[in-house]
A = this chain, B = another copy of it.
Amino acid sequence: MIVELVSTGTELLLGQIVNTNAPFLAARLNELGFSVLYQTTVGDNRERMRNVLTAALERADIVITSGGLGPTQGDITKEVTASLLERKMYLHQASAERIEKYFAERHLCMPDNNLRQAMMPEGAKIVDNTCGTAPGVIVEEESTGKIIINLPGPPHELSAMFKISIVPYLIERFGIQGSIVSRVLRTYGIGESSLEERIKKYILAQSNPTLALLARNGEIHVRITARAENEAEALKLIDALENKIRPELDEYIFGTNEETLEMVVGNLLLNKSLSIALAESCTSGLVTSLITDVAGSSGYLTGSIVCYSNSVKIEQVGVPENIIAVKGAVSRETAEFMAQGIREKFQTGIGLSVTGIAGPGGATADKPVGLVYIAIDGPAGLTCFEHHFNGTRTNIKHRTALAALNHLRQYLLSI
- Interface residues of chain A, those whose CB is within 8 Å of chain B, are 10-20, 22-30, 36-43, 45, 48, 51-52, 55, 59, 70-74, 105-108, 111, 113-114, 131, 154, 182, 191-194, 196-197, 200, 203-204, 212-215, 223, 225, 278, 280, 282-289, 291-293, 295-298, 301-309, 311-312, 316, 346, 358-362, 388, 390-391, 393-394, 397
Contacts and interface: CB of A to CB of B under 8 A. Distances in A.
18 contacts: A13-B36, A13-B37, A13-B38, A18-B18, A18-B20, A22-B41, A38-B42, A38-B52, A70-B215, A74-B212, A108-B191, A111-B196, A113-B193, A285-B286, A303-B309, A303-B312, A304-B308, A312-B346
A189 to B, nearest CB: 12
Q: Which of A15, A71, A291, A304 has the most CB of B within 10 A?
A: A15
Q: Which 5 A-B pairs have the closest CB atoms?
A: A285-B285, A15-B26, A15-B27, A303-B312, A39-B41
B113 A196 contact: yes
Q: Which of A22, A41, A192, A297 has the most CB of B within 10 A?
A: A41
A16 B11 contact: no
A36 B334 CA distance: 54
Given A303-B312, A304-B306, A308-B301, A283 B293 contact: no
Contacts of A22: 15, 19, 41
Contact of A11 (B29, B131, B214): B214
**Number of chain copies forming the complex:** 2
Q: Which of A74, A196, A289, A346 has the most CB of B within 10 A?
A: A289
A305 B304 contact: yes
| Interface of A (DSSP majority class) | mixed
Contacts of A38: 13, 40-42, 48, 52
A197 B312 CA distance: 48
Q: Which of A106, A107, A197, A303 has the most CB of B within 10 A?
A: A303
Contacts of A214: 11, 16-17
A23 B27 contact: no
Contacts of A18: 18-20, 23
Given A18-B18, A22-B19, A285-B286, A37 B43 contact: yes
A196 B285 contact: no
